[in-house]
C-alpha cells in the first residue's frame, strides 16, 4: 500500500522549470496543454502526430502559469 502512495506523490510533484515548460491551447482552457520541451523525458508527455507534444501532468495548469511567469521575467530582464 505504501508503494502506491509514494508513486502518487511522485506524480503530483511539480517538475523543475528547466525540464518542464508548457503553454495552454488558445481556446480549450487547460484541457490541451502543449509541452514546450523539444525532447521531453517526462512520463506525462504525449506525442500527437509528427510534431505536437501534449502534457498530461495532473498539475499542468500550474506548469503553464509558471512558464508564463518565466517568459514575463525574461522579457523584463532583456
The stretch 57-67 carries a mean pLDDT of 94
Say whether pTM exceeds 0.85.
Answer: no
Q: Note whether residue 32 is domain-resident.
A: yes
Name the residue range of residue 52's domain: 21-77
Does the residue 16 lie in any domain?
A: no
pLDDT (tens digit per residue) in 28-45: 666 789 999 988 888 999
Residue 1 has pLDDT above 70, yes or no: no
Query: Would residue 56 count as lying in a domain?
Result: yes
Whether residue 8 has pLDDT greater than 70: no
Q: Does residue 12 belong to any structural domain of this protein?
A: no
Q: Scanning the structure block, which residue is given the C-alpha cell 511522485?
A: 10
Number of domains comprising the chain: 1
The answer to the question of residue 29 being in a domain is yes
User: Is 13 within the bounds of a domain?
Assistant: no
Question: What is the chain's length?
Answer: 78
Amino acid at each position: 500500500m505504501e508503494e502506491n502512495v509514494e508513486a502518487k506523490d511522485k506524480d503530483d510533484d511539480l517538475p523543475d522549470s528547466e525540464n518542464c515548460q508548457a503553454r495552454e491551447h488558445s481556446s480549450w482552457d487547460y484541457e490541451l496543454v502543449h509541452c514546450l520541451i523539444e525532447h521531453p523525458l517526462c512520463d506525462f508527455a504525449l506525442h500527437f502526430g509528427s510534431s505536437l507534444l501534449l502534457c498530461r501532468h495532473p498539475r499542468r495548469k500550474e506548469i503553464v502559469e509558471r512558464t508564463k511567469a518565466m517568459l514575463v521575467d525574461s522579457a523584463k530582464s532583456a
